Structure 1
Amino acid sequence: MRFIKFTFINAFIALFLLAGTALGQNVIAPNLQERLTNTKSGELIRINIRMDDQYNSALLSEKTAGVANKEIRRAIVVDELRSFSKESQKDLLSFLTQQEKSLQVTDVMPLWIVNLVNCYATVEVIEQLAQMPGIARLDYDKMQQVLDLEMPSAPADKLGEKQTIAWNINLVNAPQVWEEEFTGEGIVVAVLDTGVNANHQDLAGRMWTHIDYPNHGYNFVDNNYNTNDVQSHGTHCAGTVAGNGTAGTVTGVAPGATIMALKVLGDSGGGTEAGVWAAIEFSVEYGAHVMSLSLGWQHSWNPDRSAWRIAMENAMNAGVIASVAAGNEGGWGGAPPPANIRTPGDCPAPWSHPDQISPGGNSAVVTVGSTTNTDAISGFSSKGPVTWQNIAPFNDYAFNPGTGLIIPDVVAPGSDILSLSNTSNTGYTVKSGTSMAAPAVAGLMALILNKNPNLTPQEISQILEESAIPLSASKSNTFGSGRIDALSALTATPFNGIRYLSHEINDIQGNNDGNLNPGETIHLSLTLENPSDELISNVSMVLSSASEYITITQGEAYLGNFASGETREFIDLFTFETSEVLPGNYQVAFILEATSPLDTTLTWRSGFQVAAHAQHLEFLDFVVDDSETGNNNGILDPGETAKLIFGVKNTGLYASEDIVMTIQTESPWINLSPEGSIEISALAPDEEAQVEVQVTAMFETPLETLDEIILTAVSGLYEYEATKEIIIGEAPVYSEGEIPSTYNTSANPNSVALEPGVMSVTIPYGATITGVDVEYKITSTGGGWMSEQRSILKCVTEGGETETAISTGPSSNSAGTHNYARQGLTIANNIEGGGEIEFELHVFRTWGGSGSNTQYAYVPNNTWKLIVHYQLERFETTFRVTNQYDEFVEDAVVKVSNANASTNEAGEAVIMLPSGNHHYSVTADRHRTRTQVPFEVDGLEQTIEVELEKVFYATFELKDIFGAPVDSANIYIEGVDVVGTQAIDLDNGTYEYLIEKEGFANYEGSFEILNDDVLLNLALSPVYTATFNIFDQWGREVDHAQIHMNNETFPGGQYFIEHLHIGSYSYSITASTFFNYTGGFSIVDDHVILNVVLLADGTSVQEITEAEFVVYPNPASNVVNVEFVAVQNNTYTISLINHMGQTIKVLPVEESAGKISLELDLEGVNNGMYFIRIDNGSESVNRKLIVR
């Protein structure tokens, strides 16, 4: 059989996806469309395949909330993105792998920083990809000339007089920061550029190293390890980040930082989008803290802006920040705002400035403009605003109306910047551009992280903007928030104060497994550290959590002083409670805020996550199995019955309880069986179960109808719900190739194309057509204008008509593809009889030009789709409902699809139904329901005989023996629990029953059903308790006595006797060292309490008393001899006990058997009466002793 997998919307999901591509939307980007026009069959084109599904940034941020350790946060993000993309790309990669075998595809490179696959593919493969589901965009990954080679270089005399520190470094006050010993040490800055001269003296020894990457990074242009810089741009940028002046001049803002060399631009300055995305992915995966990108794509090149922003959002969530050049089109060399800033410099910053009016999201990008040595804007520096209002799925930062995204974010010196040479290991060179400004900001980011490595991209972005020297009244589209100042930025950077290291869970008041379980009170222990070089005194801390499943009951604590570098552990510092419905597969994020009165403006925030150990059910994808009852195409077609196979999985960390699942639909087009609930046994973690239901689609269901199936599951206190979508049928699609257009300057409904497309649709005989839906695309290429497209649909079967109006293209006067769709056309409504209906699609263009017809307008293959709506003739179908006793069943409800009727006094109900296979369900009071019974309507009036099983009731009326009603008893019939006091589904026969009620004796009996209901009037006998309070003659409680009653001996110390009926009882009480006691009591209508006094000096008649037990001399003075015969091989204890029952001395005896003689020292024992006790653990014997 063949299964087709459907996706569905989960109301409780673990993953939220960005909005998908609508059915029929063109996925081939204009750049690729143009490239295809000029590509021969079999020729390979480098393409980007961006998937529809992308990991939602908000969900990714939520998953890492409270993770204090940035590397753990990074690892979580990388793992989530990689797993998500691997699953999403699975079918696509399988297809591409198959195509690789025939050399139709090469160099497949899957990415996860954005869910995308890059490869080389032929025209034929690209056409197939365009029809595959789940793909948002197919784009030509062109080798684009990115660097501005025409940008003028500085004259040679600029290099004549070297300074110890480059002017731009002094201007931003970086040296004052170095004096505070912050140089960027330990911070990795990835330079995504033309490569780096790693042998330059000013960088040597501080290049990133990795055992798998011998040249300090990777070459994404040539797909090798050669990261050498032939062009010069990348080395210059790396020098502005970290040049330390070994060769003469300090050119780097962060001379202690480490450089990761990622070559994404070739020796002439050209690169691909996918190459840069792969480098961003590399940066995130291999530990870069900062990315420097002195590159960008002009909007006129039609970059995939969505993919760029998704990649930068994911980088931000991984804790990586990027400094990106704004571009050098400030003189409108490319396009005016809002298209003046290059991509990805047009992405929003991690932090939203208060001056930003138009709302929108965030990303890792800090966009950098360029200034001169006088803080004037460089003439080439690109300017904002930008807008994302038409870029899905973001559609934010609206412009005109709206202010758009204010950009750049900051500016830095970028005119005439001295930095490192790529051709000399001791040389320097001067360049200008926003490319020179961006690495200065990247260097400042490294300084900030050197002071406080725990800062997030949002916090770094805020520090950069708020500490910048303002060059305009507010954040502007020229200067952003101002020119960076390193000293101000580092002053505004809080040092790394008190922070979280680890935690322990104390749930001793719960199940004591050390985990967060539902309904527990948790005591939280913390290990905290002070990583700073300062003493921090009088520290206080507050614990908080935004989780709705956590209630903090003790969340404030005083911690005292922390010495520099000190680590301290606090046991049970905070207390919180977990919800009874704490979900599994859920991370609870906690935030810690520490403060010190030494500086009330500082708050040190750190956090951590704790996994919830609870159940969590997820509904898996389902399959349609129509192999037995349908056409075995894996799709539910109109009129077809199939199996729907659902999966439910426990993705939590704790076993679920038993599950009750319901599957329902409100659709008028499908029926499900069985209706009602389905029981599933408890699922262990990672265990899944499958559930099957039968589904039938009505014959008249319109093709490609989207229906919803509602799933619910209840497991203990947990409730889950999901909505699944199922598509019924597939519309016919024209697949005979492209449909060319005909040149006709005045095309109208009567015009006839030279080569129309022809397609037939078959509908059931006798059907009445009610409308036609059509959709298709027309592509204009090679100079053709979309505004010149004309088309019309004709129904050419006898009785068919032509559309009354011709469809025209949009006003856009550029080559491209446009979608056409019309619903409810009546052009086939006059055709009678059903069968095969033929249609023609006529396509025209009103502009001729030269060349073949298909060069200017055509319908691409597999884009013309038709749906014919119809109704079938209905026939009177009578349902006659009886039961096994040949009685007519009145008021039974008969349901067929979305039609239903009730039976009359003759047991009959009439429903009008079309020919074909159907299913009926019948319900009636006091009868068993019949569901989804198949039957056929053969085109004639007919009667369907339905027999129901009549059932009977057994009703219990319960009272006590005094005549008072007894409520809420548990009634079981044949071991099955009865709801309430009435069993309502019984056949003829004899039944055993049991009644249980607290405070009453169990009642057992039987009854017989014989063609009628049964009423049982039963009287329950109450039961009572007897409580014994046992003391000795001195009023002390005796705790080891045994009660003997009703031929039963109760364990020693059990003084509470239950389940006693009304009547009289005799009992006896025995206890070692006490005389036996006998007595009696009566129970009339209440519980009894008995107070019993035992007299000391009694001995039990036990096995040990039969042995010889001699105490001499008696009376005794200094010593006393004890002799006895041990009849069992046990360990004995000899004790000296005073008259108050207190033990004075104990003499253990080793395990032995036979006669034993011992001497007991009486030194220090006062004169008086005592007892010598021998005890073997299960019995004891006493002898009186006088000491004088």
Structure 2
Amino acid sequence: MTSTATARTLRSTLLLLILAGLILPTTIFALPAIYGEALQPVLATASDTELLEIVIFMDPAPDTREMAQYLEGVRAEDRRELLWQVMSERAELAQDDVLDALYEQEQHGVATRIRPLILTNAISAELTPAVIRAIAAMPNVREIEYSPDVYAVEPVDNPPNEIDQLTWHVEQVQADDVWNMGVTGEGIIVAVLDTGVRYTHNDLADHLWDGGAEFPNHGYDVHDNDNDPMDTYGHGTHVAGIVAGDGTSGWQTGIAPDATIMCVKISSDGASADLTDVWAGLDWALSHGADHCTLSFGWYDQPASIRQGNRDAYEALRLVGMTATKSCGNSGNSSWHNPPDEVSCPGKVPSPWRNPDQIEAGGVGGQTAVGSTNSSDNISSYSSHGPVTWEDVNPWFDYIYNNGQNQGLMKPDVSAPGENIYSLSLSDNGYTTMSGTSMASPCAAGVIALIRSANNALSPAQVDEILQTTAVDLGTPGRDNTYGAGRVNAYDAVLAAQGGGGDEYTVELTPLHDPYYIFQAGGQIEYDVVITANISTPQMGNAWIEALLPNGNTYPLDIYNVNFQPGMVITRNGMTQNVPGFAQAGEYEFIVKVGIHPGEVWAQDSFMFTKLGVATDGVTSWSSGGWGDLSDANTEIVSTQPDQFLLAPAYPNPFNPTTSLNISLPMAGELSLRVYNSLGQEVAVLANGQFNSGQHSFTFDATGMASGLYFVRAQMNDGSQQIQKMMLLR
């Protein structure tokens, strides 16, 4: 018997002993997982045979800040694949034992609907109380929480169809004016997470996501785990029509009529679902190439662990460049939900861009919450109001509300038409009217599809900034908790996207020689740079330097924190940048950017240079002269090439099958350089001996090794060490 089979047999035996009551979980593991606040009373009263809908949160919890470091310097088009691979491998390592145990119990009828979740590192399932208690004792189980399916479409009374208002929402946001500019949403994939989509409707049929033979129905049903996301309820089809109905059957309902609809069914046929269905839908949409996700379901009174999962999942979307909208909820005129709990989950997640009117401290997220307006640009009576808070949710504990003593997080982020909206029905050529923030979210999603169709190089933060700063300000001047930043305006937003949008920054980068050629032994480029901030209010940001390599990868050089002030001009003349001999031959692009490092770029400039060959001697590092003391420009140097022991990031990264590693040694000494896989097993020794001070280059060849995450550790005889991460992508 193999060691893996032996381990699985031991796990199965252990679980059976716990289930039989022959041993207690605490006799094996001293610290059982925490039963969530919603699960505890349910578990105490459930019958022995009752199957409870739960979610098992595994260790380690997702860390988007760490993931951002993995993605630093990775090309935008590679970030999705890299994030998905890293998070999938981590989830598999954490979940494997628990899933093995659950699948075995499924055969005995005490476990069902078992579903691994990647972005949240969790498992959803229906389990008997005995199995829940046994699973709680297993390693890596962080928390188990109750998460039942509920009717998740928030009802609003619909008036009779009024044909004279059938396309008012399209005209209100000036989408038709955008079409006249030649921008129709083409090339943008919008995932509709809902009750499914009637993919046979004439107004959608010719611009649905092509899933090939594996997904012939243009998406997936993550609730029932099959490849038929057909809508039999009507809500999801109506939502999809607001995004991209093209008028084939007579009425133009879609904001972005040429956007591609990806159908992701997250509920039962009766519109019941829980938030793990949303997480599964986000997993599926991200891993199958969606550019944007829109969600028009809502849940209230969710425990902290569920809200943590919401923010984790949407932050992961932001890291790979996906945008997302969510209806803010229909509890504006209810008496049972009030701020900070009036906005439905997961609409409480912060948006990607931090509006200057948001005073309370807190981080950004990955989702834009949308309120509902009527044809007179008044807020709909049912539209939920903010603020919300994250003061009790680990690891952020931000946007303090303190029972109204603090601002909290302002919501919604924007508003959009959502009242008396005419869109697609469940017949293949029919239409119907619905109302709710459920209709506002896809309207904003359509506007975002137009923005991205006009300029798909924009980051989620830039898209969100454009959406908010071009919105029609309604209600109290500025951002508020009723309209958000205002009602979305597609025409102004697309104009801003085509022109860059937001506050205006400029970068002027001038090479002192043109053309620039670097000989094979390496050399130096010289340049002047001028950065101008034509802004009205101070703004924290970064200025950074990158080199775009001949193979398309980005190599990070210097980065500076900058407190940009209105009218600030940063001028640096005669700056230098070394190009090492070991750098590959070919065309390079030297780039200076300003924005929020690494993904949000406000302005940039660049020039090309050519490396004529490769040498093992000559210039030994990518060192630079630095931009010197920039205190007169309110800047602070964050990092330059160090004059201390340093293991630089692997280049290229991701790689296949070789990558270079460069080490700076301030003095002579014994150096150990070793590579480990994600299990901690040593797979290569690149150096182990005495080395002189200076720059040293090594090559790691992963031929024959499996794709995945690897770690390289450089250690000196005085105990100092440096660790870097590398991703092998076959």
Are positions 1:178 and 2:182 aligned together? no
The answer for the alignment partner of 1:195 in structure 2 is 196
The answer for the alignment partner of 1:613 in structure 2 is 661
Give distance in 2, aligned partners of 1:348 and 1:241: 23
Which of these residues, 611, 615, 622, is aligned with residue 576 of structure 1?
622
Give distance in 2, aligned partners of 1:115 and 1:525: 34
Alpha-carbon distance change, 279 to 551 in structure 1, aligned in 2, over 3 angstroms: farther
Pick the structure with greater CA Rg: 1
Alpha-carbon distance change, 38 to 249 in structure 1, aligned in 2, over 3 angstroms: same
Aligned length in residues: 571
Which of these residues, 132, 142, 146, is aligned with residue 136 of structure 1?
142
1:52 positional shift: 3.1
Say which SS state the counterpart of residue 131 (structure 2) adopts: helix
The answer for the alignment partner of 1:153 in structure 2 is 158
Are positions 1:469 and 2:462 aligned together? no
1:406 positional shift: 0.7
The answer for the alignment partner of 1:974 in structure 2 is none
User: In 1, are the aligned partners of 2:647 and 2:722 still within 8 Å (CA)?
Assistant: no
User: In 2, are the aligned partners of 1:303 and 1:343 still within 8 Å (CA)?
Assistant: no
The answer for the alignment partner of 1:255 in structure 2 is 257
1:114 positional shift: 0.9
Give distance in 1, aligned partners of 2:276 and 2:302: 18
Deviations 1:627-658 (A, max 9, x none): xxxxxxxxxxxxxxxxxxxx77477xx81233
Deviations 1:349-400 (A, max 9, x none): 0111111111212222100001111111110000000001011122111112
1:173 positional shift: 0.7
1:55 positional shift: 2.9
Which of these residues, 421, 427, 430, is aligned with residue 430 of structure 2?
427
Which of these residues, 394, 397, 400, is aligned with residue 396 of structure 2?
394
Give distance in 1, aligned partners of 2:218 and 2:45: 40
Are positions 1:417 and 2:421 aligned together? yes
The answer for the alignment partner of 2:715 in structure 1 is 714
User: In 2, are the aligned partners of 1:326 and 1:367 still within 8 Å (CA)?
Assistant: yes
1:714 positional shift: 3.3
1:23 positional shift: 8.4
User: In 2, are the aligned partners of 1:417 and 1:436 still within 8 Å (CA)?
Assistant: yes
The answer for the alignment partner of 2:300 in structure 1 is 298
Alpha-carbon distance change, 92 to 142 in structure 1, aligned in 2, over 3 angstroms: same
1:32 positional shift: 2.3
Say which SS state the counterpart of residue 207 (structure 2) adopts: coil
Task: Point out where structure 2 has 5 or more consecutive residues left out of the alignment.
Answer: 8-28, 502-506, 508-515, 524-545, 562-574, 580-587, 593-605, 613-618, 624-640, 664-672, 692-697, 704-712, 724-730
Say which SS state the counterpart of residue 35 (structure 2) adopts: coil
User: In 2, are the aligned partners of 1:192 and 1:276 still within 8 Å (CA)?
Assistant: yes
Alpha-carbon distance change, 525 to 92 in structure 1, aligned in 2, over 3 angstroms: closer
Give distance in 1, aligned partners of 2:71 and 2:717: 29
Are positions 1:491 and 2:495 aligned together? yes
1:59 positional shift: 1.7
Alpha-carbon distance change, 83 to 620 in structure 1, aligned in 2, over 3 angstroms: closer
Letter in 2 for 1:182: V
Say which SS state the counterpart of residue 474 (structure 1) adopts: coil
Letter in 1 for 2:471: A
| Greater share of residues in helix | 2
Alpha-carbon distance change, 251 to 190 in structure 1, aligned in 2, over 3 angstroms: same
Are positions 1:546 and 2:559 aligned together? yes
Give distance in 2, aligned partners of 1:384 and 1:507: 60
Structure 1 length normalisation: TM-score? 0.44
Which of these residues, 473, 476, 483, is aligned with residue 479 of structure 1?
483
The answer for the alignment partner of 2:72 in structure 1 is 65
Give distance in 1, aligned partners of 2:699 and 2:72: 29
Give distance in 2, aligned partners of 1:143 and 1:478: 29
The answer for the alignment partner of 1:441 in structure 2 is 444
User: In 2, are the aligned partners of 1:105 and 1:120 still within 8 Å (CA)?
Assistant: yes
Deviations 1:1030-1087 (A, max 9, x none): xxxxxxxxxxxxxxxxxxxxxxxxxxxxxxxxxxxxxxxxxxxxxxxxxxxxxxxxxx
1:322 positional shift: 0.7
1:143 positional shift: 1.2
Alpha-carbon distance change, 370 to 451 in structure 1, aligned in 2, over 3 angstroms: same
User: In 1, are the aligned partners of 2:54 and 2:125 still within 8 Å (CA)?
Assistant: yes
The answer for the alignment partner of 1:657 in structure 2 is 688
Alignment of 1:304-323 (within 5 A): 304-323=306-325
Alpha-carbon distance change, 291 to 72 in structure 1, aligned in 2, over 3 angstroms: same
The answer for the alignment partner of 1:459 in structure 2 is 462
Greater mean deviation of Cα atoms: 364-373 or 263-272: 263-272
User: In 2, are the aligned partners of 1:309 and 1:363 still within 8 Å (CA)?
Assistant: yes
Letter in 2 for 1:658: G
User: In 1, are the aligned partners of 2:518 and 2:610 still within 8 Å (CA)?
Assistant: no
Alignment of 1:395-794 (within 5 A): 395-400=397-402, 401-422=405-426, 424-471=427-474, 472-494=476-498, 508-509=520-521, 545-546=558-559, 552-553=577-578, 570-572=609-611, 576-577=622-623, 581-583=645-647, 586=650, 612-614=660-662, 617=674, 649=682, 655-658=686-689, 714-715=715-716, 719-720=720-721
Letter in 2 for 1:433: G
The answer for the alignment partner of 1:599 in structure 2 is none
Are positions 1:359 and 2:361 aligned together? yes
User: In 1, are the aligned partners of 2:80 and 2:286 still within 8 Å (CA)?
Assistant: yes
Say which SS state the counterpart of residue 647 (structure 2) adopts: coil
Alignment of 1:1018-1167 (within 5 A): none
Deviations 1:816-837 (A, max 9, x none): xxxxxxxxxxxxxxxxxxxxxx
Give distance in 2, aligned partners of 1:684 and 1:452: 38
Letter in 1 for 2:159: A
Which of these residues, 41, 45, 49, is aligned with residue 34 of structure 1?
41
User: In 1, are the aligned partners of 2:522 and 2:578 still within 8 Å (CA)?
Assistant: no
Alpha-carbon distance change, 428 to 295 in structure 1, aligned in 2, over 3 angstroms: same
Give distance in 2, aligned partners of 1:113 and 1:301: 18
User: In 1, are the aligned partners of 2:221 and 2:227 still within 8 Å (CA)?
Assistant: yes
User: In 1, are the aligned partners of 2:194 and 2:266 still within 8 Å (CA)?
Assistant: yes
| Greater share of residues in strand | 1
Give distance in 2, aligned partners of 1:124 and 1:618: 43
Give distance in 1, aligned partners of 2:556 and 2:138: 50
1:118 positional shift: 1.5
What percent identity do the matched residue pairs reach?
33
User: In 1, are the aligned partners of 2:34 and 2:144 still within 8 Å (CA)?
Assistant: yes
Give distance in 2, aligned partners of 1:524 and 1:509: 19
Alpha-carbon distance change, 172 to 717 in structure 1, aligned in 2, over 3 angstroms: farther
Deviations 1:578-608 (A, max 9, x none): 7685526646899xxxxxxxxxxxxxxxxxx
User: In 1, are the aligned partners of 2:517 and 2:609 still within 8 Å (CA)?
Assistant: no
Deviations 1:247-299 (A, max 9, x none): 11111110110101111122222112221111110110000000010111112
Alignment of 1:734-883 (within 5 A): none
Letter in 2 for 1:201: N
User: In 2, are the aligned partners of 1:187 and 1:446 still within 8 Å (CA)?
Assistant: yes
Alpha-carbon distance change, 98 to 199 in structure 1, aligned in 2, over 3 angstroms: closer
Give distance in 2, aligned partners of 1:496 and 1:621: 40
Say which SS state the counterpart of residue 369 (structure 1) adopts: strand
User: In 1, are the aligned partners of 2:184 and 2:450 still within 8 Å (CA)?
Assistant: yes
Give distance in 2, aligned partners of 1:547 and 1:65: 15
User: In 1, are the aligned partners of 2:659 and 2:700 still within 8 Å (CA)?
Assistant: no
User: In 1, are the aligned partners of 2:590 and 2:607 still within 8 Å (CA)?
Assistant: no
Deviations 1:902-953 (A, max 9, x none): xxxxxxxxxxxxxxxxxxxxxxxxxxxxxxxxxxxxxxxxxxxxxxxxxxxx
The answer for the alignment partner of 2:572 in structure 1 is none
Letter in 2 for 1:418: Y
Alpha-carbon distance change, 265 to 249 in structure 1, aligned in 2, over 3 angstroms: same
Say which SS state the counterpart of residue 395 (structure 1) adopts: coil
1:29 positional shift: 2.0
User: In 2, are the aligned partners of 1:583 and 1:612 still within 8 Å (CA)?
Assistant: no
Say which SS state the counterpart of residue 412 (structure 1) adopts: strand
Give distance in 1, aligned partners of 2:312 and 2:210: 28
CA RMSD of aligned residues (A): 4.1
Give distance in 1, aligned partners of 2:716 and 2:702: 16
User: In 2, are the aligned partners of 1:68 and 1:454 still within 8 Å (CA)?
Assistant: no
The answer for the alignment partner of 1:284 in structure 2 is 286
User: In 2, are the aligned partners of 1:526 and 1:569 still within 8 Å (CA)?
Assistant: no
